Amino acid sequence: MVRLHKFLAEAGVASRRAGEQIILAGRVAVNGEIIRQLGTKIDPRRDHVTVDGQGVRARRKLYVALHKPRGCVCSRKDEFDRPTIYELLPKEWDSLYSVGRLDYDTEGLIFLTNDGEFALRLTHPRYEVRKKYVVTVEGRVDEEALKNFTRGVVDHGEKLKAEKARWIPSHRSRSTVELELTEGRNREVRRLFESQGATVKRLQRTQIGKIKLGELKPGKWRALTEPEIKSLLG
């Protein structure tokens, strides 16, 4: 069972708030009966819903993992006409939107969906969904910098903080560090390194929750499995 205004929102008819107004206006019927009561619940599998006499069907929920390549944006349209991640998906999936964002020069795992509850669960700080990043910088990042990452640093009035930070063996002229974060502030990883005088050369998100980037190639996508979706919502 699902609340009627939520069903209308998930079907793409209107936002939840606008859906409430449509119901109050007497424009929605369930099994031929006009419904004006907010909070009414329906069974999308059995009940027939119409708006202004037109049938409304539940939209199939999609959950996609994409390996965002470097050199594209997460906006559907870009003012500088740069490539977008949506060009990598089937055209019929025009209802999908990204769960959070990765900036133009950042690569790695990102989810797309048409499920607002799923997106909220993964992006709101209160759920503390952990995300892992592998960062390559020129020169050496010392132990004190790693401690600062986990203690937290203040940048432009915002506290930036990693839950974990560790070295990954790499070439002598460069440092590779894995960071684990629970928040997604704007350019947070890059700003953490900039606060320590280090410039990021490569930044890749490798994991969200329990879902790893794995062998997914840049520019390629795959559908999340039911167990993966449940693990993210659990």
Yes or no: is domain 63-125+212-233 CATH 3.40.50.1580? no
In single-letter form, the type of residue at position 148 comes to N
CATH class in words for 130-208: alpha beta
pLDDT beyond 90 at 189: yes
Confidence (pLDDT) at 100: 94
- How far, in Å, CA of 129 to CA of 106, rounded? 19
DSSP 8-state symbol, 107? E
12 — pLDDT class (breaks 50, 70, 90): confident
Among this protein's residues, is 155 annotated catalytic?
Answer: no
Beta 107-113 vs 200-208: how paired, if at all? parallel
Phi, psi dihedral angles at 79 (to 5 degrees): -65, -20
**pLDDT digits over 23-47, tens only?**
999 999 999 999 999 999 999 889 9
Confidence (pLDDT) at 49: 96
Confidence (pLDDT) at 234: 80
**pLDDT digits over 74-90, tens only?**
999 899 999 999 999 99
Percent of residues, the chain, with pLDDT higher than 70: 100
> What's the length of the chain?
234
Give the predicted TM-score (pTM) of the model: 0.81
CB environment 4-36: b (16+ within 10 A), e (fewer): bbebbbbbebbeeeebbebbeeeebbbeeeebe
- How far, in Å, CA of 1 to CA of 23, rounded? 17
- How far, in Å, CA of 172 to CA of 184, rounded? 30
Confidence (pLDDT) at 116: 83
3-state secondary structure of 70: coil
Domain ranges of the chain: 2-56, 63-125+212-233, 130-208
**Catalytic residue, candidates 43, 78, 94, 103:** 103
pLDDT averaged over the chain?
Answer: 93
pLDDT beyond 90 at 112: yes
Architecture of domain 2-56 in this structure: Roll (3.10)
Confidence (pLDDT) at 158: 94
pLDDT beyond 80 at 171: no
3-state secondary structure of 20: helix
The tokens describing 137, both together, are 């910088």
Percent of residues, the chain, with pLDDT higher than 90: 78
Residue 90: how many other CB atoms lie within 10 Å: 9
- How far, in Å, CA of 14 to CA of 214, rounded? 37
Interval 119-135 mean pLDDT: 94
Confidence (pLDDT) at 16: 81
pLDDT beyond 90 at 184: no
- In 3D, which of 59, 57, 16, 51 has the Cα closest to residue 34? 51
Confidence (pLDDT) at 70: 97
Interval 143-149 mean pLDDT: 96
Mean pLDDT: which of 5-19, 141-155, 166-180 is highest? 141-155
